[in-house]
Amino acid sequence: MPKKTISTDAAEGGKKTKGKTLQEKLCISLKTCWDGLSAEEARRCQDFADDYKRFLDRGKTERECAALCAARLEKAGFVNLDTLPPKKRLGAGDRVYRSVRGKSILAAVIGKAPPARGLNILGAHIDSPRIDLKTNPLYEDSDLAFLDTHYYGGIKHYQWTAIPLALHGLIIDKAGKPHPITVGEEPGDPVFTITDLLPHLARDQMAKKASEFIDGEGLDILAGSRPFSEGDRGKDDKLKDRVKLFCLNLLHDAYGITEEDFASGEIEFVPAFRASDLGFDRSMVGAYGQDDRSCAFAALHALLETAGPAKKAAPPARTILCYLSDKEEIGSMGNTGAESRAFENFIADLCELTESDCGPRLVRDALARSAMLSADVNAAYDPTHSDVFDKKTSSFFGKGLALSKFTGRGGKYGGSEANAEFYRRVQLILNDNKVQWQFGELGKVDKGGGGTIAQHAANLGIEVLDCGIPVLSMHSPFEVISKVDLYTAFRGYKAFLQECR
Ligand code: MN
Ligand code: MN
């Protein structure tokens, strides 16, 4: 930075520079990423999105997504860290992963530099807003069977009514054996729904605030309407709640479930529809759960591609790690969330398995030398709701990876802010690799806000920057992203893993 004071002398009498030249030199200009794609890249971008849609359809819950990621990692030669033989050590090029209680995933490739020298980390989350069952959910009212629910994450209640829902769950039987259950995903499967009031009778309802007209207790799922029958009217008349009984009987026949099993089970309802191309030009993907499985998918594949084909790949310069966490949508609490010790423990284990003398201080130094992109989605500028956005700092569809220097609400409360030095390092890596990045502040000041897993990593001493894919209709049952942003995120994450020092 040459001059330390501002003088207008040159402007008064000196030589004039052309305005257009100045503009090109001084002003930021964001182009659409579609224009920069070669034919080959455009095809890769479409193929990447096709694989992404399959990923979304097969992993609609954190457990399903974690299992899917573990399978992809194993296929690429990653070994479950918890099954390593005793005394086994790790060296450059070794690939390991850990599943944290089947709900979050940590995967790493040991670099030429060991983990103690610091890691390059991508962190995303694989839980999404949804409708969970209460612990004693099944009841009957007016010859209809309902499942009572408790929603998970920040949802607009009314968006989840009158759409087809699918059941994804896990029941643990009395012997402790897990039984995954899915209803509503296969062609011919029944689906479920939350009913809403017809407009004809909704005059009072429509006059209420949107946050009130469907309350949390109003999100009950319609699950049956046919009564159990012994075929003997006299006997049937004496039975109570026969519709509920018929539902339970069917569940028992199919899965061995009794009412008590709901208490411990984890039953989640998610939209039953599949991921689709969106728009005449198929430039977008519309699907449930893209916050944050879009970034999780891009991050996982950036790791897999940096790792290269198993056996014959050269190790990366630094140790690289991909963390796919659970519970972000409810504040990252719990032993599968980013606030838990799971993340730190995994890095400590990597240090332990590569260093001859590994103490707690060495692990803390490894963390302090680490760099992380918190890969989470951003609110894309929506022309239909322009009043809450600041156009200068919003992210836009098709304009690449959105960098958020800080998160939080109000006066940046409850968020995380990247240090200038680190933000600049990431900017340079993206620029050098021709990965277009854009701004990503969440709306106008004091219009709301949010946080990601960045703050939990930052608490461990890691340098972190929030950086993700712009999404429309975030947290709704049908979120939308741009395929070129997904592909650009993948390229950006890959460049970061390979080049961050
Ligand atoms: Mn998110
Ligand atoms: Mn979210």
pLDDT in tens, 182-220: 999 999 999 999 999 999 999 999 999 998 889 999 999
In a domain, 221, yes or no: yes
Same domain, 267 and 299: no
End of a domain among 274, 297, 323?
274
Same domain, 257 and 371: no
How confident is the model at residue 14, as a pLDDT?
59
End of a domain among 213, 245, 274?
274
How confident is the model at residue 56, as a pLDDT?
98
Q: How many CB atoms lie within 10 A of CB 323?
A: 28
- Peptide bond between residue 292 and the one before it cis (omega within 30 degrees of 0): yes
What gap in Å lies between CA 142 and CA 100, rounded to an integer? Answer: 43
Name the pairing type of β-strands 104-109 and 319-325: antiparallel
What separation in Å is there between the alpha carbon of 52 and the centre of ligand 2? Answer: 19
Token pair recorded at residue 223: 């699950």
In a domain, 122, yes or no: yes
What separation in Å is there between the alpha carbon of 377 and the centre of ligand 1? Answer: 5
Ligand whose nearest atom lies closest to the CA of 454: 1
What separation in Å is there between the alpha carbon of 448 and the centre of ligand 1? Answer: 15
Q: Which residues surround ligand 2, an ion (CB under 5 A)?
A: 291
Q: Residues 6 or more apart from 27 whose CB is under 8 A from it? A: none
How confident is the model at residue 351, as a pLDDT?
98
pLDDT digits (tens, 9 = 90+) for 65-124: 999 999 999 999 999 999 999 999 999 999 999 999 999 999 999 999 999 999 999 999
Per residue, what are the HEC states of 363-391? HHHHHHCCEEEECCCEEECCHHHHHHCCC
Ligand whose nearest atom lies closest to the CA of 153: 2
Sheet of 130-141: strands edge to edge? Answer: 178-183, 165-172, 266-271, 130-141, 144-152, 221-224, 193-194
pLDDT digits (tens, 9 = 90+) for 371-397: 999 999 999 999 999 999 999 999 999
Averaged pLDDT, 139-159: 97
What gap in Å lies between CA 1 and CA 261, rounded to an integer? Answer: 67
Q: Give the three-class secondary structure for 19.
A: helix
Q: What element of type H or E holds 223?
A: strand 221-224
Q: Bridge partners of 373?
A: 122, 465
Rounded to 5°, the CA angle 231-237-238 comes to 115
Token pair recorded at residue 144: 């209809």
Question: Higher pLDDT residue, 160 or 2?
Answer: 160
- CATH number, domain containing residue 199: 2.30.250.10
How confident is the model at residue 338, as a pLDDT?
95
What gap in Å lies between CA 38 and CA 59, rounded to an integer? Answer: 31
Q: Percentage of the chain with pLDDT > 70?
A: 98
CA 469 from centre of chain:
10
Q: Could you tell me the pLDDT band of residue 447, with boundaries at 50, 70 and 90?
A: confident
Q: Bridge partners of 444?
A: none
In a domain, 426, yes or no: yes
Selection from 270, 111, 117 nearest residue 184 by Cα: 270
Selection from 444, 364, 383, 430 nearest residue 402 by Cα: 430
Report the sign of the C-alpha dihedral through residues 72, 74, 79, 82, in that order.
positive
Selection from 488, 402, 477 nearest residue 443 by Cα: 402
Map tokens 């929506």 to a residue: 382
End of a domain among 241, 274, 307?
274
The mean pLDDT value of the chain amounts to 95
Selection from 291, 309, 398, 301 nearest residue 42 by Cα: 398
What separation in Å is there between the alpha carbon of 291 and the centre of ligand 2? Answer: 6
Same domain, 369 and 423: yes
Averaged pLDDT, 132-152: 98
Same domain, 84 and 150: no
What separation in Å is there between the alpha carbon of 292 and the centre of ligand 2? Answer: 7
How confident is the model at residue 15, as a pLDDT?
66
The CA-atom distances, in angstroms, between 435 and each of 32, 90, 396, 489 are 12, 33, 15, 8
Same domain, 304 and 270: no
How confident is the model at residue 451, as a pLDDT?
85
Same domain, 444 and 473: yes
What separation in Å is there between the alpha carbon of 379 and the centre of ligand 1? Answer: 10
What gap in Å lies between CA 412 and CA 49, rounded to an integer? Answer: 34
Same domain, 138 and 123: no
What gap in Å lies between CA 178 and CA 71, rounded to an integer? Answer: 19
In a domain, 470, yes or no: yes
Selection from 137, 285, 276, 275 nearest residue 217 by Cα: 137
In a domain, 320, yes or no: yes
Ligand whose nearest atom lies closest to the CA of 330: 2
Q: What element of type H or E holds 39?
A: helix 39-58
Selection from 38, 96, 86 nearest residue 319 by Cα: 96
Same domain, 364 and 425: yes
Question: Higher pLDDT residue, 240 or 8?
Answer: 240
Q: Bridge partners of 437?
A: 401
**In this model, does residue 174 exceed pLDDT 90?**
no
Q: Could you tell me the pLDDT band of residue 13, with boundaries at 50, 70 and 90?
A: low
Same domain, 85 and 152: no
Same domain, 417 and 434: yes
- CATH number, domain containing residue 109: 3.40.630.10
In a domain, 282, yes or no: no
Ligand whose nearest atom lies closest to the CA of 293: 1
How confident is the model at residue 342, as a pLDDT?
97
Count of domains for the chain: 2
What gap in Å lies between CA 301 and CA 284, rounded to an integer? Answer: 19
What separation in Å is there between the alpha carbon of 475 and the centre of ligand 2? Answer: 6
Q: Which domain holds residue 182?
A: 130-274
Rg (CA), the chain: 26
Same domain, 313 and 203: no
Region for residue 282 given its phi and psi (left: phi exceeds 0; alpha: psi -120 to 50; beta: otherwise): left
Map tokens 């007209």 to a residue: 213
Buried b / exposed e over 388-422, threshold 16 CB at 10 Å, is ebeeebbbbbbbbbbbbbbbbbeeeeebbbbeeeb
What gap in Å lies between CA 32 and CA 48, rounded to an integer? Answer: 19
CA 378 from centre of chain:
11
Ligand whose nearest atom lies closest to the CA of 292: 1
Selection from 99, 93, 26 nearest residue 313 by Cα: 93
What separation in Å is there between the alpha carbon of 407 and the centre of ligand 1? Answer: 12
What separation in Å is there between the alpha carbon of 66 and the centre of ligand 1? Answer: 16
What separation in Å is there between the alpha carbon of 363 and the centre of ligand 1? Answer: 28
Token pair recorded at residue 41: 């890249």
Task: State in Å, rounded, how far the first CA of the chain is from the last one.
Answer: 24
Same domain, 306 and 453: yes
In a domain, 451, yes or no: yes
How confident is the model at residue 324, as a pLDDT?
98
Mutual angle of helices 483-499 and 39-58, in 10-degree steps: 100
Averaged pLDDT, 292-307: 98
What gap in Å lies between CA 300 and CA 139, rounded to an integer? Answer: 42
What separation in Å is there between the alpha carbon of 169 and the centre of ligand 1? Answer: 22
Selection from 119, 73, 62, 83 nearest residue 324 by Cα: 62
In a domain, 26, yes or no: no
How confident is the model at residue 476, as a pLDDT?
98
